[in-house]
Structure 1
Amino acid sequence: MLTLCRLLVACMVLSLYAFLATAQTADAPIQTLLQTHGDILKKSSRKTIGPAIDALAQSGMDEALTVLERWQNKDLWVAKDSGLFVFATKKDSKTLTIFDVAGGGEIGDASKKAFKQLKPNSGIRSMIGAALVQFQLNSPDADTRATALTAIERDPQPSHLTALRASLTQETDVALLARKSRLERLLTIRFSEDDAERITAIEGFAGDLGVDVRAALNPLVQTELGAGDTLPENAIAVDVAEMPDNTAYDLLISKELAPPHVSTDMMRDALIANIDNGQVAGVQVASLDTAAARLAAYTTLADQGAAAPAVTDADIAAALDSFQFYRTYTNAPIAVALAAQDALDAIETSVAVNQAADLALDAISLASIYFLAAIGLAITFGVMGVINMAHGEFIMMGAYTGYVVQLVVPDYTLSIIIAIPAAFAVTFAAGVAMERLVIRWLYHRPLETLLATFGVSIALQQLAKNIFGTQARPLTAPAWLDGSWIINDVVAISYIRIAIFVLALLFLGLFLFVMNRTRLGLEVRAVTQNPRMASSMGINPDRINMLTFGFGSGIAGIAGVAIGLYAKVTSEMGTDYIVQSFMTVVVGGVGNIWGTLLGAAMVGSLQKGIEWFNPSNTLAAQTYMILFIIFFIQFRPRGIIALKGRAAEA
């Protein structure tokens, strides 16, 4: 019975081989191609497999794509007896299901022992993946083509250049065509053998800010310092005076073109070797206790031929005059390298301009934050002359109001829309309460006002800690404020900061409208300019002070919502802005909205400028900024725009 089973298996194998021989004849182009490279395919060595992969990729056969994909997935097998290549999947531990490489049709089942599996290692799979990209570049699916471009960008190969160029004429998607064209120029710079093509591609990137461009150009300008009797062809002469100290002579030593310096150890060994009756070159050993004495003795030995001559300054100068020093480009012909250097110089200029623009955007963004934080203080301090040290806590109250609203309204966009008027209402009420209970009794007493509001500040911080705890609370921005507006690889600004800038402009407009177009604004201006005359005209200064203080506090609450969108919301967050708010108001001019705007711009620009020079130490930047402002107010004690009226008299 066992013998019969073996005979059946043998017959099945023989019939399978016969079927393979007929179904996969030499006439099948893909099988012929595989047989041509059969030896290196079976060996599967990363060092030798390249020609086989290239032949499949460049064959133009539809079956080649399938072969590469299934080979990468370890589905490619070869029959041990016939040497024919097949696709196979494991049916069980001993049996394979065989498929034809030409068309993929199922052939049948066979013993696993009759076939050898081709198992590409990670290096070969990477090479296969690079070859597959060439097929994907011309795929009818745009996403597949985009994926192929991403793969090339991550691991470019010389073979990709030809495939990219061939796919350009067939690309119909405008965005993908732009990506392909850019990538084709980058690969031309790296892999093209035509210097004219490389130079043309390089010149096309002049001023381009892409990091990928700099990554492609930087290797081309790598140089190596050399020296010789004559200046080699394609080398650039270097002036010795422009080289760092000792670099030129050390180069001559390394190339054995000049004698080395005599080291201290060499000098000591030579002196010891030439001791005779307690003397060296006629000098008592006991007298060689200084460097000058040892050098003199060594020089005598050198003159006598008993030691290597010491290299003098005159020898060094003569050696430097005897040779040509030059730089050679190590990774590119000189014409290509010079074109790359010119392009990099243009890029550096463009980077510098864009860095200045990015710094200006950061300064404007920071200025808008300071303006929002200071506008309420400008109202209370300018109109009422009250030094409100609790102003930062009103900012904190506004941020916590936004947090509470988001707990109730989970929609972030709607919650922010609700939080802005809610924060104004809460902090307006708190400001009115503070004015009625504390401030009204301390008018014209600035020191007492400062101390009282400082105490209120501490009390409000502790109250916030008792209610919300000491951990930072999230105030989440809507999804449409996520991310940044990326202008190029250098200039970018977050959407939250853009929103804060727009909010600052809106409140500037609101303030101007209230002050210039409403009865409240008219009465506030009257009280600011001449409180006695305003009182005689029927205006209640006490009521105006209360509303003004509440209005300023309400604006601080709105500023808290805006600031809380990107800063941590804690009980101490107000202290981060109180100093900058006072500096903004004082520099701009107390009580003047345009002065506050200019002050915010000046403080924000100054801080960003100092941080640019010293980016690792923001505390130092704030210190320098405070010192500058102290120096500034020595010359303009009333700020950029001085206020006339009660505040000026105070």
Structure 2
Amino acid sequence: MHRVLLACLTLLCLPLMAQAQDETPPSAPAPLQAILQDHQALVAKPSRRTIGAVLEALVASGLPEVPGFLNRYAEKEVWQREADGLFFYAEERGDAYALTDIDSGEVVAEVPSEGLSNIKPNGGVRREIGAALVQFQLSDPDITRRRDALDAISRNPDPSQLEALTASIEGEADATLRTRKERLANYLTARFGETSEARISAIRAMSDDLSVEGRAVLNQILATRFTAAETLPEDANIARVMTSGAGIDRDVAYAALVEADLAPPLVEAAEVRAALEGNIIGGRVGGIPLGQLGTSEARARAYAALAAAGTVPQLVTDADIDAALAANVFFDTYEEADPAITEAAAETLASVQTRVGVGQTIDLTMDAVSLASIYFLAAIGLAITFGVMGVINMAHGEFIMMGAYTGYVVQLFVPDYTLSLIVALPLAFAVTFAAGVAMERLVIRWLYHRPLETLLATFGISIALQQLAKNIFGTQARPLTSPGWLDGAWVINDVIQIAYIRIAIFVLALLFLGLLLFILKKTRLGLEVRAVTQNPRMASSMGINPDRINMLTFGLGSGIAGIAGVAIGLYAKVTSEMGADYIVQSFMTVVVGGVGNVWGTLAGATLIGFLQKGIEFFNPSNTLAAQTYMILFIILFIQFRPKGIVALKGRAAGD
């Protein structure tokens, strides 16, 4: 009975429940979906002009889902369901699409493609989306995205980025990125600050910034526009006033007058011809028969007649041009209207350019010293052998190559680059010392005082050694890797920097300079070498064996070349022909500095290093021209000082 009564009551209540359900309002859309629905038409059919309103609303919402949505929106992964206008992420699954809610990220349905439309923003819209994403990426946990955001700001600075960039500085954990954010915020303030005081303060703060980016900001503030007018405007921020022929070309000045409607345009010869052809009436033009128009004077009269009648524009004569130029003024106006800002920018830029010039001079000097140290290492062995023995060793470059390959082989067996370098230096000396002694014993000793035969013989040995290296190592360049502590560069500022490997080569050159001076000045071998160098006959009469000294000296010079090869191979390519890149410079260094003298070699290397870098600075795009100018200079130098900068004394007595 009770069950029957309960069933009856239930049946009676069903209509009421259905009515209540019908009257329940639909649930409100999630926050991100709600914003998109408010701008539904703009989201569905975006353009570069209209997308701004959508992006402003999304950014202002502060929703954590916004960055992900913007990324997928730009990647054309957003779809709209036509039935209700809602937006989803869609993924193709067979014949259907899985729809993902843009707020929750959950798959809510699988539907056929009918009734779905893919939103495809064009390139302009995607750029606007990328600019909006920058504000989120500035505080992204991924350092790569933060770095990309700063790159995007650098490429396209905008006043709207300043607030977000400034807000992200406090929470930046990476010191390098924090410094860059502070610098970019200062750049944006300098260009787009709300007050003149803020902008001027930011501009003054850039006086220590020598970067190209900083100078670009100052130049943008100082951007000018060339203008012609009847008088100088009182409200313009004028950069400079020019006159025709002094600061501005005459034709350019008149073209500016024409553009400003202050003078009639010039009539070109082709226009004159077309005007005459278009105004032939009854066999005449301007009252002149066609048969008389064979000269330029007649054509000018005909055109003048047409111009007097108002048919064609008047010709502009040189006198008209001069009068127009004299009656008007020409000037550059700053695009920035505030004179205080442009004055601060000009003063700051002048200070920065002065410091950049000093920095470039220092940087060029450091590069020249580094190059001189390389040439010194490459040439010192040749200077010793050439000076003591008078042997023109064309295979000296191949001893440099042998040293570099020795370092490469050592690294094959010793993977620790620091340890391999420690092993390679003495081993390269030993290998090339032995090769030099063998060459002197087998070939050179039979050719003393026969320079032409010596040159040909050593040139043949050079070719043979190159071919041997190709047979063993192949023609491909081999790596000689420097230790990790030699990677990178010593950066003093944005202008002055030098690679650590070049510093190491410079230190190595100093060590060898000291070592050679010690050997030549403080050891018996050095005493005997100096004696043979100055007077071999007298040295022989004093019990010194010139033959033995020649052998050891040649071996020593070859060994030093091997060490130079290891040093050079750390930053240059290691190939069978690498010695040819340094043999010419080595001979020039020896000849210019003074044959057989350590100090002369140092002086010659310094002169050639500075000369080459100086020529490259003035002609950076043509290295061949730099080499040519350098050789011409050295030829002239030898004409005035044939024995070099530091000439030996007493050698002629033994010849």
Q: What TM-score bracket applies, with the shorter chain setting the length?
A: 0.7 to 0.9
- How has the CA–CA distance of structure 1 residues 586 and 144 changed in structure 2, closer, same or farther, with 3 Å as cutoff? closer
Amino acid at match of 2:64: L
Does residue 238 (structure 1) correspond to residue 239 (structure 2)? The answer is: no
Give the corresponding residue for 2:164. Answer: 163
Give the corresponding residue for 1:264. Answer: 269
Bigger mean CA offset, 142-151 vs 210-219: 142-151
Question: Does the 8 Å CA contact 1:383/1:647 hold for their aligned counterparts?
Answer: no
Bigger mean CA offset, 212-221 vs 310-319: 212-221
Residue 398 of structure 1 aligns to a residue whose secondary structure is: helix
Give the corresponding residue for 2:217. Answer: 216
Give the corresponding residue for 2:228. Answer: 227
Once the two structures are TM-superposed, the CA of residue 398 in structure 1 deviates from its matched residue by 1.8
Once the two structures are TM-superposed, the CA of residue 511 in structure 1 deviates from its matched residue by 0.9
Amino acid at match of 1:192: G
Give the corresponding residue for 2:445. Answer: 440
Once the two structures are TM-superposed, the CA of residue 405 in structure 1 deviates from its matched residue by 2.6
Does residue 626 (structure 1) correspond to residue 631 (structure 2)? The answer is: yes
Work out the number of aligned pairs and report it: 627
Once the two structures are TM-superposed, the CA of residue 377 in structure 1 deviates from its matched residue by 0.7
Equivalent-residue separation in structure 2 for 1:95 and 1:504 (angstroms):
69
The two structures, once aligned, show a CA RMSD in angstroms of 4.2
Once the two structures are TM-superposed, the CA of residue 77 in structure 1 deviates from its matched residue by 9.3
Give the corresponding residue for 1:65. Answer: 64
Equivalent-residue separation in structure 1 for 2:436 and 2:358 (angstroms):
45
Give the corresponding residue for 1:408. Answer: 413
Equivalent-residue separation in structure 2 for 1:464 and 1:16 (angstroms):
92
Amino acid at match of 2:330: F
Residue 332 of structure 2 aligns to a residue whose secondary structure is: strand
Bigger mean CA offset, 443-452 vs 578-587: 443-452
Mapping of 1:113-124 within 5 angstroms? 121=121
- How has the CA–CA distance of structure 1 residues 116 and 544 changed in structure 2, closer, same or farther, with 3 Å as cutoff? same
Partner deviation per Cα, 1:419-462 (whole Å, 9 max, x = no partner): 22222111111111222222223333333333332333333333
Equivalent-residue separation in structure 1 for 2:33 and 2:272 (angstroms):
75
Give the corresponding residue for 1:530. Answer: 535
Residue 161 of structure 1 aligns to a residue whose secondary structure is: helix
Equivalent-residue separation in structure 1 for 2:269 and 2:342 (angstroms):
43
Partner deviation per Cα, 1:211-244 (whole Å, 9 max, x = no partner): 3223433333333322222322215233233211
- How has the CA–CA distance of structure 1 residues 263 and 441 changed in structure 2, closer, same or farther, with 3 Å as cutoff? same
- How has the CA–CA distance of structure 1 residues 375 and 17 changed in structure 2, closer, same or farther, with 3 Å as cutoff? farther
Give the corresponding residue for 1:565. Answer: 570
- How has the CA–CA distance of structure 1 residues 591 and 146 changed in structure 2, closer, same or farther, with 3 Å as cutoff? same
Equivalent-residue separation in structure 2 for 1:303 and 1:98 (angstroms):
78
Bigger mean CA offset, 414-423 vs 331-340: 331-340
Give the corresponding residue for 1:553. Answer: 558
Equivalent-residue separation in structure 1 for 2:285 and 2:145 (angstroms):
86
Does residue 196 (structure 1) correspond to residue 200 (structure 2)? The answer is: no
The normalised TM-score by structure 2 is: 0.81
Question: Does the 8 Å CA contact 1:369/1:563 hold for their aligned counterparts?
Answer: yes
Equivalent-residue separation in structure 2 for 1:49 and 1:278 (angstroms):
63
- How has the CA–CA distance of structure 1 residues 193 and 614 changed in structure 2, closer, same or farther, with 3 Å as cutoff? same
Give the corresponding residue for 2:56. Answer: 54
Once the two structures are TM-superposed, the CA of residue 588 in structure 1 deviates from its matched residue by 0.8
Partner deviation per Cα, 1:32-62 (whole Å, 9 max, x = no partner): 8777767756776654443454344345x5x
- How has the CA–CA distance of structure 1 residues 137 and 247 changed in structure 2, closer, same or farther, with 3 Å as cutoff? closer
Equivalent-residue separation in structure 2 for 1:177 and 1:148 (angstroms):
13
Once the two structures are TM-superposed, the CA of residue 89 in structure 1 deviates from its matched residue by 9.7
Once the two structures are TM-superposed, the CA of residue 317 in structure 1 deviates from its matched residue by 1.3
The normalised TM-score by structure 1 is: 0.82
Amino acid at match of 2:242: V
How much identity, in percent, do the aligned residues show? 61
Once the two structures are TM-superposed, the CA of residue 621 in structure 1 deviates from its matched residue by 1.6
Residue 570 of structure 1 aligns to a residue whose secondary structure is: coil
Give the corresponding residue for 2:511. Answer: 506
Does residue 422 (structure 1) correspond to residue 446 (structure 2)? The answer is: no
Once the two structures are TM-superposed, the CA of residue 549 in structure 1 deviates from its matched residue by 1.0
- How has the CA–CA distance of structure 1 residues 537 and 269 changed in structure 2, closer, same or farther, with 3 Å as cutoff? closer
Once the two structures are TM-superposed, the CA of residue 371 in structure 1 deviates from its matched residue by 0.6
Does residue 184 (structure 1) correspond to residue 185 (structure 2)? The answer is: yes
Equivalent-residue separation in structure 1 for 2:589 and 2:578 (angstroms):
18
Give the corresponding residue for 1:3. Answer: none
Mapping of 1:484-495 within 5 angstroms? 484-495=489-500
Partner deviation per Cα, 1:177-206 (whole Å, 9 max, x = no partner): 433321211222343343332232223223
Once the two structures are TM-superposed, the CA of residue 465 in structure 1 deviates from its matched residue by 3.5
Amino acid at match of 2:521: N
Question: Does the 8 Å CA contact 1:220/1:332 hold for their aligned counterparts?
Answer: no
Question: Does the 8 Å CA contact 2:529/2:553 hold for their aligned counterparts?
Answer: yes
Give the corresponding residue for 2:12. Answer: none
Residue 328 of structure 1 aligns to a residue whose secondary structure is: strand
Query: 1:451 is matched with which residue: 456, 461, 464?
Result: 456
Give the corresponding residue for 2:8. Answer: none
